[in-house]
Structure 1
């Protein structure tokens, strides 16, 4: 981690006694969901609460770092109810929009981006009514636009991009500058945190499959190119998981959505397929400079898990846990909203009267 944030030895007493604060809360996981939760806890809890973040992967080692970061909720992104799902997305969009309208936008990696969702085969795919209700600009393409693009159906959309190569360091600096402590530590069980923290937020992403035994957690393998193509000003979505999304410096070209695939290596056949699809969609990309290829496992769960649990371990030890994981391909899109929900659940736990001895 190269000294980018403070760490403590997980075997040291300073792990839980380094602060004079009385109430201790822990966040597990340092991807976009974990860091969003940690910073929002700091912003919404009383000053006598200290927040520690525990993880064994940071910044460039996280799944979040490879995300294109576009605010784009897919139709299979689901919370426990449609109302909660809608609230998560609206809260997330408003959160990013507030950053966009602040002096921190450029250092946080948040920018506005317009572009096209097009298809020659599926007219219903290019229109998402829930997404449309959130955004300020979402319209059908004009006949002239469709003719220029070479497609039958399409929508023109203005949304936001949050580039995690900027955003994760931004959140990390924000967290540590407000007194947050980071532990570089691998956990085999949340039981290891019992007795040390009043509440633990489990934002472990795909790691929840082993950490809390969530057997329905499934990887959706994504492979992308990161290229330099300064002439690309708009985003493009097309059929077969084809997308072109400009970030702050690089353009993300993709992609794949391979359900239940544990292949962590770049696949040459996927590379050929992606390159063929994106250059057919936007021929000027043939001149793009390839910076790297990237593979990650999106942590998919049929219903994103944001809920409270009182865990009991052998010997009677207990732990109050707020889960916040299973966002699939929509971690960046939904992280602020689900994290706000998680913060509310943490406050409910902390507001409970303590049992008298």
Structure 2
């Protein structure tokens, strides 16, 4: 039996965790990591590594919370194991403080971290310029240590890490069945994504072993994050800035801002400067696509664009990217149903070549069933389909629309399976995703659809 070959491009925290998820999820496949930079020379090595999630406007909050919870649970298990020191993962408590009361007094991740509560007036006295705050316990990754631990786990699983600078993703064709693009800012060159732009981050690392609690101001531009061997002081978010050299004036500004929050830092020693270019300019791109070229078809799962929040969601997002890559080959050319699972497409942002329906992003409440191709209700992908190149994902689809969608696919299959399913993408759980209780007609259509999926679309 052919063992699928998957190349993961990129060896930052997103790439390594995605490769590890691929190696752990069944059925077996051959995985290789290809990267021009590895730790300690990646953007992830500069990351402060604190598990406090960013908010991505183009991704539904339940999905962001899922990614964060899965990441938190994964790292919490490591922190409670004998691997904690080798992995560089530990618990840390502290405060997030505000100069004015935020619009969202309780963030979406409050019930994921430990002991989340509002700060008391006595606690706020430590920060006289601030009027509101939270206190909680979260996790911190020592970035370079964690990356080295991931590399060790990958090699133990038989996954090689190859040092190679690619000029284009097509260089991996046809040696690999699927390419998972976790190249971050490198996607400008490798995937031709002109939307992805650098968000320059400069941080300082100092020795201040008396500091045990983190301090984060507002949305996190200024922070003091104690670690195992140093304290990370930040930071900057300089959109469109490609400069990788530390700027002395910026360092002075960061240090001044952090000392305003924690005056004892003026006694810190051993200051080091670091700069990293985060992939920004667009939202997270977690998407499968089939790219046609003169050499054939390249099947790609894109997984990048996390800006400065990659560490906080890396494991949950990697699990989702791995499921996309493991399901089958995109397009239905060899797409069989194994355990009720076939290739499913999640498009959180539109991409070049995808039709106008992608402009209707997540959050659509009602659907034009003559144009819908993919719909999600609850935790299941409900639809199948395809006409021309347009694609749409809908969430919280109304019950009557679910019935219409199922019946429409039923008609499409009867009319012309080949024409309408050139880019087949369907059902995460075929056996459960279409509840037969919708109506009698939908129940009959369900049986017909599943039969066609299992028997004829290969």
| In the alignment, structure 1 residue 186 sits paired with structure 2 residue 165 | yes
What is the aligned partner in structure 2 of residue 34 from structure 1? 15
In structure 2, the partner of 1:13 is none
1:290 to 256, 270, 275: 270
How far does the alpha carbon of each residue in 1:48-105 deviate from its partner, in whole angstroms, 9 at most, with x for none?
x211100000001100001110001123x34533332222122111111121222211
Match of 1:219 in 2: 198
- Is the partner of 1:33 in helix, strand or coil? helix
- State the alpha-carbon separation in 2 of the partners of residues 277 and 114 from structure 1: 21
Correspondence for 2:123 among 141, 145, 155: 145
2:21 equivalent to 1:51: no
Greater RCO, CA 8 A, separation 6+: 1
Query: For 1:163-242, what aligned pairs fall within 5 Å after superposition?
Result: 163-239=142-218, 241-242=221-222
Contact 1:126 1:154 in 2 (8 A): no
Which of 36, 42, 45 aligns to 1:65? It is 45
| Contact 1:79–1:305, Cα closer than 8 Å, also in 2 | no
2:329 & 2:154 partners in 1: Cα distance? Answer: 21
Q: Structure 1 pair 85/79, CA: closer, same or farther in 2 (3 Å)?
A: farther
Secondary structure of the residue aligned to 2:193 is coil
C-alpha displacement of 1:278: 0.8
2:257 pairs with 1:277: yes
Aligned to 2:289: 309
Q: Deviations over 1:155-208 (max 9, x none)?
A: 112111011121000000000111111211011111101110111110001101
Aligned to 1:22: 3
1:96-115 maps to which residues of 2 (within 5 A)?
96-115=75-94
Flag structure 1 segments of 5+ consecutive residues without an equivalent. 1-19
CA distance in 2, matches of 1:61, 1:93: 25
1:347 partner SS:
helix
Q: Report what 2:367 is aligned to.
A: none
TM-score (norm 1): 0.88
Name the structure 1 match of 2:133.
Answer: 154
Moved more, 250-259 or 81-90: 81-90
- CA deviation after TM superposition for structure 1 residue 25, in Å: 1.1
Q: What CA distance in whole angstroms lies between the structure 2 residues aligned with 1:279 and 1:320?
A: 50
Quote the offset at 1:292 in angstroms: 1.2
CA deviation after TM superposition for structure 1 residue 125, in Å: 6.7
Aligned to 2:433: none
Is the CA contact (8 Å cut-off) linking 2:198 and 2:239 kept in structure 1?
A: yes
Question: What does 1:107-146 align with in structure 2 at a 5 Å threshold?
Answer: 107-120=86-99, 122-124=100-102, 127-146=105-124
Tell me the distance in 2 between the aligned counterparts of 1:103 and 1:125: 41
Please name the residue that 2:342 is paired with: none
CA contact (8 A) 2:328 2:334 kept: no
Structure 1 or 2: larger strand share? 1
Q: Are 1:91 and 2:70 an aligned pair?
A: yes
Preserved contact between residue 68 and residue 312 of structure 2 (Cα < 8 Å): yes
The 8 Å contact of residues 117 and 126 in structure 1, kept in 2 or not, is answered as no
Deviation at 1:42, TM superposition (A): 0.7
Tell me the distance in 2 between the aligned counterparts of 1:140 and 1:35. Answer: 36
Alignment partner of 1:345 is 2:324:
yes
Secondary structure, aligned partner of 1:302 = coil
Q: Which has the larger radius of gyration?
A: 2
| Structure 2 contact 65–109 (Cα < 8 Å) conserved | no
Aligned match for 1:266, one of 246, 255, 268: 246
Residue 354 (structure 1) shift: 2.4
Q: Tell me the residue number matched to 2:364.
A: none
TM-score normalised to the size of structure 2? 0.69
